[in-house]
Amino acid sequence: MSCSVNLRNVSYQNDKKELFKNINLNLGHEEKIAILGSNGSGKSTLLKIIAGLISPSEGYVEIFHNKIDSLDDFKKFRNDIAYLPQDVTNHFLCPTVIEDVIFSLRAKGVSKEEALIQGSEILEELKITHLKDRIIFDLSGGEQKIVALAGLLILQPKILLLDEPTNALDEQSEKRIIEILNSIKKSMIIVSHHRSFIDSLTNIVYRLDGGNLGKMA
């Protein structure tokens, strides 16, 4: 299987303690992997390392079999990797849904007309066309998560990294997130502490605990 992401003996230590050591992980093409773990176990930190937001203390990441030696090496893969943080309230850059969803396309030089066409298509695909002209901060937490996801998907990334995508969401919003993620054919790493949510997406589950990453039966 062709791999999208490989972790090679990745370790991370902050000022207080070593979060994890010698983590090895392979994410295949269009494969979904979940990582469970308690709060403070290092799940979010590991995801940020894969996203190229922070550097490991030791070891390295490979993206499409390219070794990443520094954060600068991530630049050429920036459009291939989409990262959804646990808290999306600081994720938005524009007041309305459609403006924010198309912002990244406009920043790349896509014409407003073409960006609006693509934006409308992604909103329709995610069944949130009715939110098109709404003010983002008037939306529910679940609606904001889906809008943030739309803003990532419009760039057609090959890899999705999702940090607690259903955290603090109601049951209906969680079901909608599950439907969307199950409909997307991309490589994914999903971090969560919610086992039933994970089981609805994939049977490839790892647990990060005590600094070690192990595959669960």
Query: What digits encode the pLDDT tens for the residues 81-123?
Result: 999 999 998 999 999 999 999 999 999 999 999 999 999 999 9
Q: Is the pLDDT of residue 217 over 80?
A: no
Topology of the domain comprising 1-80+161-167+187-217: Rossmann fold (3.40.50)
Q: Is the pLDDT of residue 1 over 70?
A: no
Could you report the per-residue pLDDT of 120-164, keeping only the tens digit for each?
999 999 999 999 999 999 999 999 999 999 999 999 999 999 999
Helices (H) and strands (E) in the chain, counts: 6, 10
Q: In whole angstroms, what is the distance from residue 43 CA to residue 30 CA?
A: 21
Domain segments of the chain: what residues? Answer: 1-80+161-167+187-217, 84-156
- What pLDDT does 191 receive? 96
Q: How many CB atoms lie within 10 A of CB 200?
A: 15
Average pLDDT over residues 29-46: 93
Residue of higher predicted confidence among 40 and 22: 22
- What pLDDT does 17 receive? 87
For the whole model, what pTM was predicted? 0.94
- What pLDDT does 169 receive? 86
Could you report the per-residue pLDDT of 46-90, keeping only the tens digit for each?
999 999 999 999 999 999 999 999 999 998 998 899 999 999 989
- What pLDDT does 14 receive? 86
Burial label, 39 (beta-carbon count in 10 A; 0-12, 13-18, 19+): exposed
Beta strand 32-36 with 187-192: parallel, antiparallel or unpaired?
A: parallel
Banded model confidence at residue 194, pLDDT cuts 50, 70, 90: confident
- What pLDDT does 214 receive? 95
Instruction: Evaluate whether 176 touches 140 at the Cβ level (below 8 Å).
Output: no
- What pLDDT does 3 receive? 84
Instruction: Evaluate whether 205 touches 198 at the Cβ level (below 8 Å).
Output: yes
| Cα–Cα distances in angstroms (integers) from residue 179 to residues 41, 115, 121, 184, 201, in the given order | 28, 25, 17, 9, 9
